Amino acid sequence: MPAKPFHLGWFQTFQANEWKTPYTLSEGVPFTGYSLGTPTLSIIDHQYETNFGDIRVPPDGVPFSCIAIDLPVKRIVLPHIVKLFVPIFIVILITALIFVLPARLEEARAGIGITALLTIIALQWSTEGDLPSVEYLTMLDVIYILSMIYIVAATGYSVLASRRGLHEKPTAVTATSTAGSA
């Protein structure tokens, strides 16, 4: 009697007696943003913690055969760097303009800081919508927090420097001549 064919979802259909042939993913499997390695298929014994209701089996269970499929998946890093870190870097560079602008442009300096902070918050919200929710801080969360701290510090420094400049009274410098007095 010929062996019954197996079908493992995205893997090719194979006969039960063809274990030595290599297996590949079916064409057209959508894995955008990832690089897939060669899948491996193996039959292993696994000790389950149950007897599956069979009273002939000891309570701690016996090893059962199972099929293990290993599919190596690697994330392509460059698109994530471009989509996540380049916008943050641009906002930080624009925030650095606060220190380049003259002190008399305090409205522009404060406006840059506030706009940069709102932009970073919007970037963080849009990123969080695409990622799973976790209970701990990820590296991206730390980068966003450090970016927000830098922007708030730069804006605060700009506001304090502008207020200090408003409270200082300009002093007139007069030139005195000692050559004409006799």
pLDDT digits (tens, 9 = 90+) for 1-43: 444 444 444 444 444 445 555 556 666 666 677 777 787 888 8
DSSP state of 26: P
Q: Which residues of 135-158 are buried (b: 16+ CB within 10 A; e: fewer)?
A: eeeeebeebbeebeebbeebbeeb
- Which tens digit of pLDDT belongs to each residue from 78-105? 888 888 899 999 999 999 999 988 878 8
| Local confidence band at 71 (pLDDT 50, 70, 90 cut-offs) | confident
What are 144's two structure tokens?
A: 């966003």
The CA-based dihedral angle spanning residues 101, 104, 108, 112, taken in that order and rounded to the nearest 10 degrees = 50
The more confidently predicted of residues 143 and 8 is 143
Looking only at the bridges linking them, the beta strands covering 14-15 and 5-6 are antiparallel
Domain-wise residue ranges, the chain: 5-75, 77-167
pLDDT number for residue 10: 46
* Phi, psi angles (nearest 5°) of residue 42: -145, 155
Highest mean pLDDT among 8-17, 59-68, 130-139: 130-139
* Phi, psi angles (nearest 5°) of residue 74: -120, 140
Q: Which pTM was predicted?
A: 0.57
Q: Which CATH superfamily is domain 77-167 in?
A: Neurotransmitter-gated ion-channel transmembrane domain (1.20.58.390)
Q: Which residue has the tokens 């000790």?
A: 47
Percentages helix, strand, coil for the chain, rounded to the nearest 5? 40, 15, 45
DSSP state of 9: T
